[in-house]
Amino acid sequence: MRLRISATALAFLTLRLSTCSPATQGDYPLDVSDRYIVTLKPGTEIPEHIHHVESLLAHQGVERDDGKSFAGVTHEYHISDFRGYAGHFDRRTADLLRQHDNVTAVEPDKVWTLSSVITQSKVPYGLSLISHRQANKPDYAYDSSAGGGTWAYVVDSGINVQHGEFEGRASNGYNAVRGEPPTDSFGHGTHVAALIGGKTYGVAKKTHLIGVEIFKGQKTTYAIALDGLQWAVNDILKTNRAAKAVINMSADGVGDKAINAAVREAIKRGISVVVSGGIRGAPTSWPSDAIVVAPTNQRRVSWDRADKSTRITLWAPGVDIRSAWIGSSAASRTMSGPSQAAGYVAGLVVYLKAMRRLPDPASTKQSLIMLALRNVVGNPGEAQNLFAYNGSGR
């Protein structure tokens, strides 16, 4: 049975860690050979086009003499005007699809990477940095609304919902890895979720957290990731939460045309989307209307591996960040990277939505930029010198 999803992109996400946790010793087997992502023109009738694709594939199969077989269309995507699919085709079929009147792009699969690095530091500091103009203050100053009545959708590896950090406010809504129950077997999603809304580590301590699992072990595909994104968008719209929700995607910021189109459609439907900036050597290519975040250390100096391109919206704490982990209800781990910085800013989004009743992505992003501390980031490169701040007045 085909899966209906929210954007067309198929590519592998491999998790790149300096130190691999015991929970990640297994690897989810994936093969992107002859895998493609096809983006369709708005208004294209997907069933009719898919029938055409199946006919093409059948014709190519009759002519083959090498015995290879191809799975055809594996995922379909439809978010507002964004339509497309992912599939397994021979090269000749892919070339024919590029010539089709209803096709705007045919892209090969590629690698997509989670962007955190496990470290050994045990000193949390990020909440102080985002609530004080001066660094090295001992406390976290925040409004008592604390993100109440909001929802953060964490499109990642799932959430350890039994962890004490979440106080019953976390649930796993959907697992895009087929045939698996939703749970966090890796830890990355739990870490990010607690930065968004954990009772100790979190920015918005009253928000509701919903895990959307797209990783199993260290890898996934863009097709799976887009399935998860589509579910999050549909759930937010179905429950009328657009003005009170954020989607966080803490993966390497090297998107392609299809996934960027999907993110744009989510934002167009009124949903704020926070994403990680890229790693040095792979600068971010997220769409400009997303909130793109890069990490600094405790002194507000940019991480040495951070993307410093003009696509970065904000800087936030992201080096040696302690947060919740898997394995028990009290486990914690220290990590570094754009994922952690994005988690803090996603928390700020729902924090400000609760406090200021921000109605849409544009006003939310503008509030973040207006509140941001200016010219405090060391070595920002070409990125804007704006550091995330909650407006506490401290």
| pLDDT tens-digit readout, 240-253 | 999 999 999 987 65
Mean pLDDT of 382-393: 95
* 104 and 126 housed in the same domain: no
- Enter the tokens of residue 30: 């994936």
pLDDT at 79 over 50: yes
Q: What is the mean pLDDT of the chain?
A: 85
CB 313 within 8 Å of CB 353 = no
Q: Identify whether residues 220 and 330 lie together within a single domain.
A: yes
Report whether pLDDT(22) > 80: no
CA 366 to chain centre: 20
Residue 201 shares a structural domain with residue 272: yes
80, pLDDT greater than 50: yes
Residues 74 and 136 both lie in one domain: no
Looking at the structure, tell me whether residues 236 and 128 fall in a common domain.
Answer: yes
The alpha-carbon radius of gyration of the chain (Å, integer) is 21
Q: Are residues 11 and 141 in the same domain?
A: no
Q: What's phi and psi for 275, nearest 5 deg? A: -135, 160
Is residue 394 situated within a structural domain? no
The residue-averaged pLDDT of 144-162 equals: 96
167 and 303 together in one domain: yes
Number of domains in the chain: 2
Residue 28 CB: number of other CB atoms within 10 A?
Answer: 19
In a domain, 393, yes or no: no
Instruction: Give the pLDDT band of residue 223 (cuts 50, 70, 90).
Output: confident
Q: Stretch 290-319: mean pLDDT, rounded?
A: 95
List the catalytic residue out of 323, 332, 336, 339.
Answer: 339
Query: The CATH number of the domain where 134 resides is what?
Result: 3.40.50.200
Q: Give 94's strand partners.
A: none
- Report residue 235's pLDDT band, with 50, 70 and 90 as the boundaries: very high
Share of the chain above pLDDT 90, in %: 57
Last residue of a domain, one of 111, 126, 145: 111
Phi/psi for 302 (5° steps) reads: -60, 140
Helix (H) or strand (E) run with residue 341 in it: helix 338-356
326-333: long-range pairs with CB below 8 Å, 24+: 326/23, 326/160, 326/184, 326/185, 326/186, 326/187, 326/190, 327/23, 327/160, 327/187, 328/163, 329/162, 329/163, 329/164, 330/163, 330/164, 331/160, 331/163, 333/21, 333/118, 333/187, 333/191
The residue annotated as part of the active site, out of 75, 88, 163, 188, is: 188
Q: How far apart are CA 104 and CA 97, in angstroms?
A: 9
Rounded CA-CA distance 331/322 in Å is 10
Which comes out higher in pLDDT, residue 192 or 142? 192
Residue type, 117: V
Q: Is 392 a catalytic residue?
A: no
Q: 8 lies in which domain range? A: 3-111
Q: In whole angstroms, what is the distance from residue 119 CA to residue 124 CA?
A: 12
Out of 83, 111, 139, a domain closes at: 111
pLDDT of the residue at 3? 31
User: Stretch 188-214: mean pLDDT, rounded?
Assistant: 97
Has residue 342 been placed in a domain?
yes
DSSP category for residue 243? G
Number of other CB atoms surrounding residue 393 within 10 Å: 8
Same domain, 261 and 193: yes
323 noted as active-site residue: no
- Whether residue 304 is found in the same domain as residue 382: yes
- Residue ending a domain, among 77, 111, 145, is 111
Report if residue 44 sits inside a domain: yes
Other CB atoms within 10 Å distance of the CB of residue 2: 14
- Pair (288, 382) in one structural domain: yes
The lowest-confidence range among 200-204, 226-230, 242-246 is 226-230
Mean pLDDT of 338-359: 96
**Residue 145 CB contacts under 8 Å (≥ 6 apart), including other chains:** 206, 351, 354, 355
- Residue 63, pLDDT score: 55
pLDDT of residue 1 exceeding 60: no
147 in the same domain as 25: no
With vertex at residue 84, the alpha carbon angle to CA 221 and CA 276, rounded to the nearest 5 degrees, is 45
With respect to residue 392, please indicate whether it lies within any of the assigned structural domains.
no
Q: How far is CA 344 from the centre of its chain?
A: 13
Quick check: 23 pLDDT over 60? no
pLDDT band at 279; cut points 50, 70, 90: confident
Residue 215, pLDDT score: 85
Tell me, yes or no, if 156 is annotated catalytic.
yes
Identify the weakest region by mean pLDDT among 92-96, 280-284, 365-369, 383-387. 280-284
* CA 9 vs CA 115, 226, 338: distances in Å: 19, 7, 22
Q: Is the pLDDT of residue 35 over 60?
A: yes
- CATH number of 66's domain: 3.30.70.80
Q: Judge whether 27 lies within some domain.
A: yes
Please tell me whether residues 205 and 305 are part of one structural domain: yes
Catalytic, out of 156, 227, 256, 307: 156
Banded model confidence at residue 139, pLDDT cuts 50, 70, 90: confident
